[in-house]
Amino acid sequence: MATFAQKNRSPAGQALVEFALLGTLLITLVLGIFDFGRAYYTQVQIKNAVGDAGYYAIQNPGNDTGTKNRITQQLSGLNPAISSSNIAITCSSGITKIRVDYQYHFVFSWLVPSAQVSLGDETYVPQINSCP
């Protein structure tokens, strides 16, 4: 004779529980992929801005303010915004080094609420008449 619990088991209820367990994992995975895609896109933006600033530095030697403005202008869409303290320009022995550091904050960070990753790039630009 079947008991009350055995009679009222429903495959739909089992499927709902399985979906709740696997759905959470799947949604977290999809949002993680989205977030890492955004981080990669931000890294590409930084790399392009540093390359463009290097080209600007070759054409305008000694104009560190203009070089920083070039980087800030290209990275104006970042959130949080990049500041001039994230940009380092040094010149020694006829070579200008341009470095950008940026702390990227993940949008979907449920496991670690303050999750962030450090992104950055640098380039070395030769100066024809040494450093100004």
Question: What is the structure's pLDDT at 19?
Answer: 87
- The answer to whether residue 114 sits within a structural domain is yes
Q: Domain for residue 132, yes or no?
A: no
Would you tell me how many other CB atoms lie within 10 Å of the CB of residue 74?
Answer: 18
Split into its structural domains, the chain has a count of: 1
pLDDT in tens, 6-20: 666 666 678 888 888
Write out the two tokens for 56: 């600007």
How would you classify the pairing of strands 116-126 and 95-105?
Answer: antiparallel
Query: What is the radius of gyration, based on Cα positions, of the chain?
Result: 25
Express each pLDDT in 40-56 by its tens digit: 999 999 999 999 999 99
Residue 1 located in a structural domain: no
- Which residue from 67, 90, 72 is spatially nearest to 82, judged by alpha carbons? 72
- Mean of pLDDT over the chain: 86
Does residue 1 surpass a pLDDT of 60?
no
pLDDT digits (tens, 9 = 90+) for 65-91: 999 999 999 999 888 889 889 999 998
pLDDT at site 43: 96
Helix, strand, coil abundance in the chain, percent, nearest 5: 50, 20, 30
Could you tell me if residue 131 is inside a domain? no
Ramachandran region, residue 34 (left: φ > 0; alpha: ψ -120 to 50; beta: rest): alpha
76 part of a folded domain: yes
- Crossing angle of helices 64-74/11-59, nearest 10°? 160
In a domain, residue 4? The reply is no
| CA count, 13 A, side-chain hemisphere, 21 | 5
Sorting pLDDT into bands at 50, 70 and 90, what band is 103? Answer: very high
pLDDT digits (tens, 9 = 90+) for 105-114: 888 776 677 7
Q: Does some domain include residue 106?
A: yes
Model pTM?
A: 0.80
| Tokens read off for 8 | 């009222």
Structural domain boundaries, residue 50? 10-126
Strand partners, 122: 99
